[in-house]
Amino acid sequence: MPFLPQKPPITGETLDSLVERLEARGEPAFRAKQILEWVYKKRVRSWEAMSNLSRPLRAWLEETFDLEPATLVLGKQSLDVTDKLLLELRDRCLIETVIIRAPQEGVGLENSRKTICISTQVGCAMGCVFCASGLAGLKRDLSAGEIVSQLLHVCHREDGRTRRSQPERVPFDNLVVMGMGEPLANYEALILALTIINADWGLGFGARRITVSTSGLVPKILRLADEPLGFRLAVSLHGATDEVRERIMPVNKAYPLDTLIPSIKAFTEKHGRMVTLEFILIEDVNDSLDQAEKLRDIALDLHAHVNLIPYNTVEGLPWKRPSGNRQERFARVLADAQVSVTLRREKGHDIEAACGQLRLKTERGIGAIPTLNPDSSIPDPMNKSG
C-alpha cells in the first residue's frame, strides 16, 4: 500500500527518468544532470537556489516535484555519539534516521567515522516478538524518494560540521539499512533508493559500504545476491534452531533454517564476502550453551561473521538481556572455534539497538525524543563486521 503524494519526490527519480520528463517538455537532457547536481552535490534546499536553470524551468520543477518529501521535526543541536533525526512524511507518518559516531582519538566527534541507519517502512509486518518496530504492525512502505531523503537530511545536518577534502562527498562512512521495517519486504523501492544513493549522479556512495539487514526473506535474499551493485548482507538470526527461532520470529515458519542457511551460502558464494549473522542475546530464550554451539556450527559452515547483541529492553515487552558473564560465556564458544565474533559490552548505543528500537519512542509523542542511552560510547560495529 504505497502512499501517493501530490507530487513525487525528486529524490525518487533516476537520471534516466528525469531526462525523460525533461525531454517531454522540450528541455535538453543535460538539464537533468544539472538538477541532480543541485540536489545531491551542492545539496541546496530550494528550487530557487538552482541558479543555472531558467525561471520557467524552476517554476515547473516546483509544481512537479517535491524537493523534500520528509520534514525534519526533531533533531538535537548538540552532538552525541548517537543522534536521531525524527522526520515527518507528507501523510504525517513519522520515521527516524540514526547517526552513529564512532569516537576516534584526536579528530573530535564531528569528524569521527559515521554510520547512518535508515528506515524502509513505517512499522513492520514481520512480527518479531522482541522488536519495538513491529509492535503495531506495518503502516506502509516508504517510497524510494522517502528512503533517499533521509540521507539528504543527514547531509544537511552534518555538512557544515564535518571537515572533508571534497565537499561534494557525503559526510558519512557506512550505511546500514537497519531502521524501522523489513527492507526486503519493500524490495523495489529499496533497490531503486540504493541505486540512487550509489550512482555518480546521485549521492555517489559506494555499494560496498551499504549493508542491508533482513529477518530472512529467502527468495529476496537470492534476488539481492543477483543485484549487480553488490550490497552487503546481514541476517537477523536470533535463534540457532528452528524451535528457538520460530518462537521469536514468525518468519521462520515460512523460511526455516534449512532454506535460510542455503540462501545465505548462495549469497556468500556470489559475492565472495562475509555475511554478518546478527544474534540478539535474550535471557532464557536463546542464550544457552546449546544455542551457542549450534550458532558456532552455522557460522563455520557459512564462513560468516557473528554480531552478538545484548538485548535492549523495550518498554511493555518482557524480554531481558542476559548477565555479562552469560554473554561472555556464549561468545567464548564461538571465539574458541575461531569464529569471527563481536560482542557489544556497552549498554545501548550499538547500531542494532539504536536502529531496532525506533518505533516506540517515536510513537510516544514527539515532545521528548530521548537519545537512546546517554551513558556510554561505542566502537564502530560495522567496521568489524565485514
187 touches 231 (CB < 8 A): no
Give the residue from 203, 197, 196, 194 showing the smallest Cα distance to 169: 203
* Cell reading at 234: 546481514
Give the residue from 124, 82, 99, 118 showing the smallest Cα distance to 359: 124
Q: Is 267 in the site for ligand SAH (CB under 6 A)?
A: no
Candidates 131, 175, 353, 372: give the one binding ligand SF4 (CB under 6 A).
131
Helical axes 144-158 vs 187-198, angle rounded to 10°: 40
Q: Is 257 in the site for ligand SAH (CB under 6 A)?
A: no
The 8-class DSSP code of residue 66 comes to: B
Binding to ligand SF4 by CB under 6 A, coded x per residue (else -) over 194-233, reads ---------------------x------------------
19 interface partner picked from ligand SF4, ligand SAH, none, CB below 5 to 8 A per type:
none
Q: Is 257 in the site for ligand SF4 (CB under 6 A)?
A: no
Q: Is 183 in the site for ligand SF4 (CB under 6 A)?
A: no
Catalytic residue among 13, 27, 96, 278: 96
Candidates 82, 186, 263, 312: give the one binding ligand SAH (CB under 6 A).
312
CA 306 to chain centre: 18
Candidates 309, 333, 334, 343: give the one binding ligand SAH (CB under 6 A).
309
146 is known as an active-site residue: no
Site residue total, ligand SAH (CB under 6 A): 19
* Per-residue b or e along 268-288, where b marks 16 or more CB atoms closer than 10 Å to that residue's CB: beebeebbbbbbbbbeebbbb
User: At a CB cut-off of 8 Å and minimum separation 6, what does 106 contact?
Assistant: none
List residues near ligand SF4 by CB under 6 A. 124, 126, 128, 131, 133-134, 181-182, 215, 236, 356
Q: Which residues bind ligand SAH (CB under 6 A)?
A: 130-131, 178, 182, 213-215, 236, 278, 280, 309, 311-312, 314, 352-353, 355-357
Catalytic residues: 96, 355
